[in-house]
């Protein structure tokens, strides 16, 4: 299992998209550890996924990211496990 360390540049919670009340809860697809504080992928609906991972600033990745978008780093084995879980 790949391990990553969390960066110290957390995004303020009030800037993140919210799941509306009455929506079905996201379906857990895959995670790579037993705790709740690790990279995880959820299926929100038939067209989108929610990714929980380690915040990564654009300058750390050498990328130019548009306003309102964020980078999240996750282990490759997590993405492979999520792909196997998608209907």
The 10s digit of each residue's pLDDT in 21-40 is 778 899 999 998 888 789 99
3 state DSSP class of 48: coil
Nearest to 37 by CA among 70, 14, 4, 15: 4
Q: What is the mean pLDDT of residues 13-28?
A: 70
Task: Indicate if the pLDDT at residue 13 is higher than 80.
Answer: no
Encode pLDDT of 29-77 as tens digits: 999 888 878 999 999 988 899 999 999 999 999 999 999 999 999 999 9
- Residue 30 is encoded by which pair of tokens? 């895959």
Note the pLDDT of residue 1: 40
DSSP-derived secondary structure letter, 54: E
């Amino acid at each position: 299992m790949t391990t990553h360390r969390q960066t110290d540049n957390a995004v303020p919670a009030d800037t993140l998209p919210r799941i509306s009340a009455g929506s079905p809860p996201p379906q857990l697809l895959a995670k790579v550890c037993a705790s709740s504080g690790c990279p995880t992928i959820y299926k929100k609906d038939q067209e989108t996924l929610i990714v929980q991972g380690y915040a990564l600033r654009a300058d750390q990745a050498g990328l130019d990211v548009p306003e309102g978008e964020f980078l999240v780093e996750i282990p490759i084995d997590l993405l492979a496990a999520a792909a196997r879980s998608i209907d």
